[in-house]
């Protein structure tokens, strides 16, 4: 029996084992679902943790637990589970650094890319780019009032810039002032700003005004420090608003950086 | 009507689980690195959909997204809102998971580019068995 046949036989045997184990896990999951391991789905009542979050997200009658954000998801992301999200942003930055290290052999001297697509595609892409960026800025600014927030707005801006890279050209992106080094600088600066905003409440502790917690947004038990909760009559939700805008810049620059790195990569196989 | 919603819900959840199993199968069986990563993406997206589905609920008339549309004037407004709102916690966790998944897949794909650069192919068998039994292949 030749080597090729032996390898083929081994893969066939492994396929059977994989199929059998997947079938068994499917049956086990079906049994768990059938016996109600996840509870009766969909439930008629809200879980108690979710109920307390939903009631306290904008609750002027319970000032030590509220975050004055009408959007409960934004309140969870940036207030109730804030440290989680800050570390998640750090993971995003670590991934960007990893991509930058792995694909570091980029075009240096000669100008890559063509002249872009036809004039019709170029003009319509410019219009779409303007509308999408305005829409994503609205998403970011209203992140505590309406559905949306920092991640969504940043992803939309990043997707728009990759569309521009395809339809127009790399030179156009360089001409409007977007560069890999600039993006990396923006990214580090904004991450440092997020950490700084998280540490702002400690100022009141240093000045002896009251106790304070890291990432504190509104008044908490035993602490009188509070970020602004209203902008004239519009709810502002304190740090949620600030973090949404900073996160938009972070995610947009990260996605654009990854796309630009892959686009300018000199992908030759080694002889 | 409610039975119909329940049956449709079970079908949806079973579909997500089957999708996850298809993703696991792809991760184990496919030889192409890019196809393995695609299977991993299918797996993680089905898991996200499953989490969102677990946060769903049945409410009187219709369930509402966990967003207040107006500023509450009275504590009773908040209780009414909690009676129709869906669970906001899975949604918040899923958006975190999506961004982490994006960064992980970007890194994995860049590693795949590096793999192609050094091996000239995306097949993982080239670096495992074929080098051991080189005389069997022409």
Cβ under 8 Å to A: B residues 78-137: 78-79, 81-83, 85-89, 91-92, 95-96, 98-100, 102-104, 106-107, 110-111, 113-114, 116-118, 120, 125, 129, 133, 135-137
Q: Any alpha helices (H) in A78-118, and if so which ranges?
A: 82-102
Closest partner CB to B67 (pick from A4, A29, A147):
A147
Give domain B2-64+76-136's CATH number out of 1.10.287.3510, 3.30.365.10, 3.30.110.30, 3.90.1150.10.
Answer: 1.10.287.3510
Residue A44 has pLDDT above 70, yes or no: yes
User: For the segment B37-80, what is each residue's pLDDT rounded down to a tens digit?
Assistant: 999 999 999 999 988 988 888 888 888 888 888 888 888 888 88
Residue A128 has pLDDT above 80, yes or no: yes
Q: How far is CA A131 from CA A128, A137, A157, A247, A255, in A?
A: 5, 10, 11, 20, 19
Domains of chain B: which residue ranges?
Answer: 2-64+76-136
Close Cβ partners of A270 (under 8 Å, ≥ 6 residues apart): B117, B118
Do A91 and B66 make contact, defined as CB atoms within 8 angstroms? no
Do B87 and A26 make contact, defined as CB atoms within 8 angstroms? no
CA-angle at A63, arms to A57 and A68, nearest 5°: 35
Domains of chain A: which residue ranges?
Answer: 69-263
Q: How far is CA B132 from CA B69, B118, B125, B137, B138, in A?
A: 65, 18, 10, 11, 14
Closest partner CB to A58 (pick from B5, B53, B71):
B71
Residue A114 has pLDDT above 80, yes or no: no
CA-angle at A259, arms to B94 and A183, nearest 5°: 90
User: Would you state the pLDDT for residue A269?
Assistant: 47
Does the CB of A95 have a partner CB in chain B at under 8 Å?
yes
Q: Average model confidence (pLDDT) for chain B? A: 84
Q: How much of chain A, in percent, has pLDDT values that exceed 90? A: 19
Give the pair of three-digit tokens for residue B60.
């009187």
CB distance A149 to A140 below 8 Å: yes
User: Would you state the pLDDT for residue A153?
Assistant: 93
Residue A34 has pLDDT above 80, yes or no: no
Cβ under 8 Å to A: B residues 11-70: 13-14, 17-18, 21, 24-25, 28-29, 53-59, 65-69
Residue A109 has pLDDT above 70, yes or no: no
Give the mean model confidence (pLDDT) for residues A226-252. Answer: 86
A36-45 as b/e: b if 16+ CB within 10 A: eeeeebbeee
Give the mean model confidence (pLDDT) for residues A233-238. Answer: 82
Give the relative orientation of helices B88-119 and B33-54 as an angle to the nearest 10 degrees: 180
Q: A163-172, A194-203, B38-47: which has the highest mean pLDDT?
A: B38-47
């Amino acid at each position: 029996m030749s080597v090729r046949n032996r390898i083929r036989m081994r893969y066939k045997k492994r396929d059977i084992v994989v199929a059998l184990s997947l079938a068994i896990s499917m049956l086990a999951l079906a049994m768990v679902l059938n016996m109600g391991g996840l509870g009766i789905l969909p439930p008629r009542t809200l879980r108690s943790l979710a109920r307390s979050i939903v009631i306290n997200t904008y609750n002027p009658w319970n000032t030590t637990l509220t975050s004055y954000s009408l959007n409960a998801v934004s309140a969870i992301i940036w207030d109730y589970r804030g440290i989680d999200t800050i570390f998640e942003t750090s993971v995003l930055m670590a991934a960007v650094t990893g991509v930058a290290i792995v694909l570091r052999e980029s075009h240096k001297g000669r100008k890559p890319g063509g002249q872009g697509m036809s004039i019709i595609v170029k003009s319509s892409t410019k219009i779409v780019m303007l509308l999408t960026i305005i829409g994503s800025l609205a998403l970011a600014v209203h992140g505590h009032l309406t559905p949306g927030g920092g991640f969504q707005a940043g992803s939309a801006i990043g997707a728009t810039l990759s569309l521009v890279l395809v339809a127009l050209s790399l030179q156009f992106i360089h001409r409007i002032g977007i560069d890999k080094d600039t993006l990396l600088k923006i990214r580090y600066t904004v991450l440092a700003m997020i950490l700084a905003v998280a540490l702002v409440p400690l100022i009141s502790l240093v000045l002896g005004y009251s106790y304070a917690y890291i990432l504190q947004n509104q008044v908490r038990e035993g602490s009188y420090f509070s970020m602004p909760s209203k902008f004239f009559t519009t709810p502002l939700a304190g740090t949620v608003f600030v973090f949404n805008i900073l996160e938009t810049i972070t995610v947009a620059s990260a996605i654009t950086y990854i796309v630009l790195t892959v686009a300018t990569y000199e992908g030759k196989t080694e002889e | 009507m409610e039975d119909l919603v329940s049956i449709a819900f079970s079908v949806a959840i079973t579909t997500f689980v089957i999708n996850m199993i298809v993703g696991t199968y792809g991760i184990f069986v496919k030889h192409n690195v890019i196809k393995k990563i695609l299977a991993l993406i299918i797996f993680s997206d089905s898991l996200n959909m499953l989490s969102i589905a677990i946060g769903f609920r049945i409410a009187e008339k219709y369930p509402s997204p966990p967003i207040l549309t107006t500023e509450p004037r009275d504590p009773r407004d908040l209780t009414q809102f909690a009676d129709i709102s869906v669970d906001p916690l899975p949604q918040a966790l899923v958006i975190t998971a999506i961004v982490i998944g994006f960064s992980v897949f970007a890194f994995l794909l860049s590693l795949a580019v590096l793999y192609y650069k050094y091996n000239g192919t995306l097949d993982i068998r080239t670096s495992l068995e074929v080098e051991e039994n080189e005389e069997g292949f022409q």
